[in-house]
Amino acid sequence: MKTTFSQAVAVMLLAATLTGCGNNQKGNEKTTEDALTANLRQYVATSTTDNPAIFLTLIKSTDTDSSMVYVGKSLNDKDTLALQIEISKNIPGGVFEDGEVNEEKAFHEGAIKFSSLGEESDNFVRAIATLYEEPASNGMTDAILEPLVFSSNKTAVDLTGNGTYAFKLFFANSVGEEAEVFAELNLYNRSFKLWAKDAEQYPRILSAFTDGL
């Protein structure tokens, strides 16, 4: 009886310890999210260029079996902009060491997905419309955007580390050929950056984010 009682106490103590650890981890994550949210940057990362980049801070991440789901936010003056960005854990390097494209591994449909978070995502669309000097009567589509992804990396993407990874995205849209967009994931700085291949892509990008093709 004494042994059984001791074992029961040990199990209860272990459960309490694990619960405490879990609560501490969640508390730390919430503290980090709050700190990042309180120090958001403006969304235009390179305003001095003819083709500015759009910047988002990754304030939150959620681990799934096959992907990491990030919430990216930034500011347009005082308005908060946001996107949900889901990135597959299985993106191999798409470029050989000599710089040649690995045709078998470089392209992946939907390896990076973009979803609306409501009003703050509508703010994102309106902000890039202003930046691109394009009309935008609609907010962000409710559809999940799943562009074709080209991995510009020589190694596989490791979402558990602190690396920086480059991609080229091809978005379907209703106004022309696929919108060509470059992207950079910086896990050390917890940031995600997007910029168009050229100004010809601007109306196509807006169409992709509003029409949801």
Asked if the model's pLDDT at residue 14 lies above 90, the reply is: no
**Residues 86 and 112: beta-carbon distance below 8 Å:** yes
Residue 169, pLDDT score: 98
What pLDDT sits at residue 211? Answer: 86
Q: How far apart are CA 42 and CA 45, in angstroms?
A: 7
- Over pLDDT 70: what percentage of the chain? 84
* pLDDT for position 24: 62
The pLDDT of residue 51 is 86
* Residues facing 70 on adjacent strands: 61, 85
pLDDT digits (tens, 9 = 90+) for 160-183: 999 999 999 999 999 999 999 999
Is residue 46 very low, low, confident or very high in pLDDT (cuts 50, 70, 90)?
low
Give the mean model confidence (pLDDT) for residues 176-202.
Answer: 97
**What's the rounded mean pLDDT across residues 88-111?**
96
Query: Is residue 9's pLDDT more than 50?
Result: no
Residue 74, number of CB atoms within 10 A of its CB: 26
Tokens, residue 16: 């309490």
Map residue 200 onto helix, strand or coil: helix
- Interval 147-153 mean pLDDT: 98
**Cα–Cα distance list, 187 to 116, 166, 193, 196, 200 (Å):** 22, 12, 11, 21, 30
Residue 189 DSSP class: T
Q: Roughly what angle, to the nearest 10 degrees, separates helices 119-132 and 202-211?
A: 160
Reported pTM: 0.84
| Over residues 185-208, mean pLDDT | 96
CA distance 177 to 18: 53
User: For residue 21, what pLDDT is reported?
Assistant: 54
**Cα separation, 209 vs 213, whole angstroms:** 9
Q: What is the DSSP letter of 199?
A: G
